[in-house]
Amino acid sequence: MKTEPLLRWTKKDLIGIRELSRSEIEIILDLTPKFLSVSERASGIKKVPLLQGRLVVNWFHEPSTRTRTSFELAAKRLSADILSITASSLSTVKGETLHDTLANIEAMNTDILVLRHSGAGVPHILAKDHASHIINAGDGRHEHPTQALLDAFTMREEMRRLYNDPNRGLDGIKVALVGDIQHSRVARSNIHALTKLGADVTVCGPATLLPRGIEGFGVKVTTDLGEALENVDVIYALRIQMERQGKALFPSVGEYVRLFRIDRDALCYAPDHAIVMHPGPINRDLELSTEVADGPRSVILKQVTNGVAVRMAVMHVLANAGSSKEL
């Protein structure tokens, strides 16, 4: 592997896709296949020593299984030491401030901090004042950058396969994000990544779940699923957060299903080649029918596999930026 990408990367942290340039996004995407191959080694030794002796702390202030284990596995495959702290074990519940908790984590000589928090902006404010590399693993409704990177990587792989062109990017491909845009950090990060990579993005959902000002992101906005799915290459279903339904943002699950669920009927609006994605965990038969989720057009499990490799690439780039470490 060429050393060039590490020399081109200058950021200490990965806080959001919004702060990244197209070429920074591409550095990660281009490194990912090498890490994917580590996980698929015929020898069965799925490890490289790129982060040997480094300490990665997974600080999850909000429940998460998928993202936390994906980061954990990524760190382990890079031979790092990994420590996971979850919300229940945190002293913030005992009144300690965020900065104090982080100062304590750093005092253990942490190299990389993977942070999930319910408050938008927490990784951003902590990164400003602390020395360790911070990777945002999701902050409130704000951003979830590694999810967007793994999604972009997955879309790129699928499009390369579809068009039989190993150099194809996402320029000109059409992506529809469907569901709860308002509360979704995945939607925000994906919109930033996809628009930067030249894709044409449409967001679709109930009017009550489309945030004001979303047109300013350079996306098309519609409440008509048929219109959203016309000519799409990628259908991206977002999770409906049932815990928010106390706020009655749509009248019933039944009505949501009739208008916005990605199911066999909805797929009729889309071309045959369109793939189906979802960030997980799925509410089966709510935003996505079981038939489609498990069907031939779904790449949901590929997203999960790619997620580990993308996160390995991100940790490698942050921790080894400026050096000439080779894979």
Partner 1 sequence: MTSYVIKNGHVINPASNTSEPLDVLIAGDKVVKIGHNLKGDVVINAEGHVVSPGLVDIHCHFREPGGESKETIATGSLAAAAGGFTTVVTMANTNPVIDNAGLVELVIRRAREEACIHVLPAACATKGLIGNEITEMADLKKAGAVAVTDDGQDVASSALMLRALEYANMVGMPFLSHCEDESLAEGGAMNEGYTATLMGIPGIPKAAEEIRIDRNIRLAELAKAHLHIQHVSTAAGVEIIRQAKKRGARVTAESAPHYFSLTDEAVQGFNTNAKMNPPLREKEDREAIIKGFQDGTLDCIATDHAPHTATEKRVEFGLAPFGIIGLETSLALTITELVRPGHITIEDAVHLLSWGGAQICRLNSGNLYEGGPADITIFDPEMQWTIDSNDFASKSRNSPFIGRSVYGKVSYTFCGGKIVYPELPF
Q: Choose one: 29-37, 97-105, 248-256, 298-306; the region binding partner 1 (CB under 8 A).
A: 97-105
Return the range that interacts with partner 1 (CB under 8 A); candidates 64-72, 210-218, 222-230, 285-293. 210-218
Edge-to-edge strands, sheet with 55-60: 81-86, 55-60, 112-117, 133-139
**Binding residue for partner 1, selected from 116, 117, 174, 261, defined by CB under 8 A:** 117
- Residue 96 makes contact with partner 1 by CB under 8 A: no
Residue 216 interacts with partner 1 (CB under 8 A)? yes
Select from 96, 168, 217, 220 the one that contacts partner 1 (CB under 8 A). 217
CA distances from 177 to 1, 72, 188, 201 (A): 34, 28, 10, 7
Report if residue 174 touches partner 1, rule: CB under 8 A: no
CB-wise, 139 or 263, nearer to partner 1?
Answer: 139
Q: Closer CB to partner 1, residue 142 or residue 316?
A: 142
Q: Taking the CB of residue 178, how many other CB atoms lie within 10 A of it? A: 26
Binding of residue 221 to partner 1 (CB under 8 A): no
Among 12, 124, 160, 302, which residue interacts with partner 1 (rule: CB under 8 A)?
124
Q: Which of residues 3-22 bind partner 1 (CB under 8 A)?
A: 18
* Out of 24, 72, 143, 151, the residue judged to bind partner 1 by CB under 8 A: 143
Minimum Å gap between C-beta 77 and partner 1 is: 30
3-state DSSP of the chain: CCCHHHHHCCCCCECCCCCCCHHHHHHHHHHHHHHHHHHCCCCCCCCCCCCCCCEEEEEECCCCCHHHHHHHHHHHHCCCEEEEEEHHHCHHHHCCCHHHHHHHHHCCCCCEEEEEECCCCHHHHHHHHCCCEEEEEEECCCECHHHHHHHHHHHHHHHHHHCCCCCCCCCCCEEEEECCCCCCHHHHHHHHHHHHCCCEEEEECCHHHCCCCHHHHCCEEECCHHHHHCCCCEEEECCCCHHHHHHCCCCCHHHHHHHHCECHHHHCCCCCCCEEECCCCCCECCCECHHHHCCCCECHHHHHHHHHHHHHHHHHHHHHCCCCCCC
Does the protein bind partner 1 through residue 104 (CB under 8 A)? no
Give whichever of 182 and 306 is closer to partner 1, judged by the CB atom: 182
Q: Is 142 in the site for partner 1 (CB under 8 A)?
A: yes
Give the nearer residue to partner 1 in terms of CB position, either 119 or 280.
Answer: 119
Q: Which of 85, 90, 125, 253 touches partner 1 (CB under 8 A)? A: 125
Are 313 and 32 in contact by the 8 Å Cβ rule? The answer is yes
122 counts as binding partner 1 under rule CB under 8 A: yes
Q: Which of residues 17-56 bind partner 1 (CB under 8 A)?
A: 18
Out of 97, 231, 245, 252, the residue judged to bind partner 1 by CB under 8 A: 97
196 contacts partner 1 (rule: CB under 8 A)? no
- Which parts of 56-75 interact with partner 1 (CB under 8 A)? none
User: Interface residues with partner 1 (CB under 8 A)?
Assistant: 18, 97-99, 117, 119-122, 124-125, 139-143, 185, 188, 211-214, 216-217
